[in-house]
Amino acid sequence: MKTQNAVFEQTEKKIRKYARIKDGTPPEGWIHTIRLALGMSMRQLGKMAKVTPQAIKDIETREKTGNITLASLEQLGKHLNLKLVYGFVPSDGSLKKIIDKQALKLAKRIVTKTSKSKKLKGQLISPAMLKKSIKLKAMEIKEKSPKLLWE
């Protein structure tokens, strides 16, 4: 558990650095955008990369459509003295929020199922008590059985 917590903390720390990036990739792709920003033609970039201008156009198109490999981006970036940086940024802002959301979802399913069986036995649970039970169950899952979150 200590190792998993350490990995979690290190990953969260790395993600925080990138979390400020809201719209990471320019609409035309990085290669096209940087090439234009540098005032470079496809022919000139092709010459640097030892490929044809048509190959540069194809690479730019593949990047724009999401059909390019990281290796291709990294290789072309090296010709431009650029380092490829790759990663994921959680939509909710942090891995903790992803875990919290998943724990609540699972807890709600478990507690709702239990409350339905109690209702059938004539034991009613108030909405406030149901909400509290879900929160407690979510905390219990995160602390005692975190792997259950992804079953």
SS (H, E, C) 86-121: CCCCCCCCCHHHHHHHHHHHHHHHHHHHHHHHHHHC
Domain map of the chain by residue range?
Answer: 22-79, 95-150
49-60 tens-digit pLDDT: 999 999 999 999
pLDDT at 113 over 70: yes
Higher-pLDDT residue of 61, 129: 61
Instruction: State the pTM of this model.
Output: 0.70
Element (H, E) at 140: helix 127-144
Helix-helix angle 53-65:70-79, to 10 degrees: 130
What percent of the chain is modeled with pLDDT above 90? 54
